[in-house]
Amino acid sequence: MDFDYSELNDDWINKFDKTDNLYKDFYKDNLYYINIDFIYINRKNEIEKIKQESILLSVQNYITRDELIGILKRNLIDNNIKYSLMSILKYNITLEPDEIKNFLLSDDTSCYNDNFLIINKHIDTIKFEKTINMFQDLNNLFIIFYENPKENKTSNVNASTKKVYIKKNANRRTIRKTI
C-alpha cells in the first residue's frame, strides 16, 4: 500500500511554528557578546570616568583568561594615569522563563538580585550562564580600577646599602652590610 504524501495535512506544524515564534524571546540562549563597563576611581575615592565597550566572545558564554588579561592590560592606563585593578563584578541574569512573571510583579526582588551580581576574586576564565533572549543585553562585566597612589620617595630609604665600620683590637676591617 502506497501512501500519498501530497494529502498530508501539515497545517498544525505551520500553526505551531507561528505560535512558537511569538515566544522565541523567552527562551534561554547562549551569549555571543558581552558589555564591559570600566569604572575609574581617583585618589579621592570619586568616580573619575566610566567607559563601556562590547566584546565578541571567542567561546560562547565564556570570557577566557587570556581575553580578560588582554582587556585589563589595554585599560589599566587612561589619560596617562596608571590604575590598579580593584574588582571584577559579573552581572548575569539567570531567570528561568517561568520566573519572569513573578519577578516583574513581585515587590521583593532581592532574592534574584543577590544571585545576579557576583564578585570574581581571581583573574581567570569567567563563565556566563545562558540567558533569556530578551535579557541578554543586561548581562555585563564591571571592572573597577583605582588610581595608583604617588610613589613615596621615603619608602626607598630602607632599601639602601650602608658602610659599617667595626674595630677589633688593632685590626680595622670595613664591612658592607645591608640594612
- List pLDDT tens digits, range 112-161: 566 788 999 899 999 999 998 888 899 999 999 999 887 544 444 455 56
> How far apart are alpha carbons 116 and 6 in whole angstroms?
52
Name, in order, each residue with C-beta under 8 angstroms of 81's C-beta and a sequence gap of 6 or more: 147, 148
- List pLDDT tens digits, range 145-157: 999 887 544 444 4
- List pLDDT tens digits, range 44-95: 999 999 999 999 999 999 999 999 999 999 999 999 999 999 999 999 988 8
Burial of 92 (0-12, 13-18, 19+ CB in 10 A): buried
* pTM greater than 0.85 (yes/no): no
Structural domain boundaries in the chain: 27-150
- The share of the chain scoring above pLDDT 70, in percent, equals 70
Question: Is the backbone of residue 7 left (phi > 0), alpha (psi -120 to 50) or beta?
Answer: alpha
Name, in order, each residue with C-beta under 8 angstroms of 29's C-beta and a sequence gap of 6 or more: 130, 131, 132, 133, 136
Choose the CATH number for 27-150 among 3.40.390, 1.10.357, 3.10.20, 3.30.70: 3.10.20
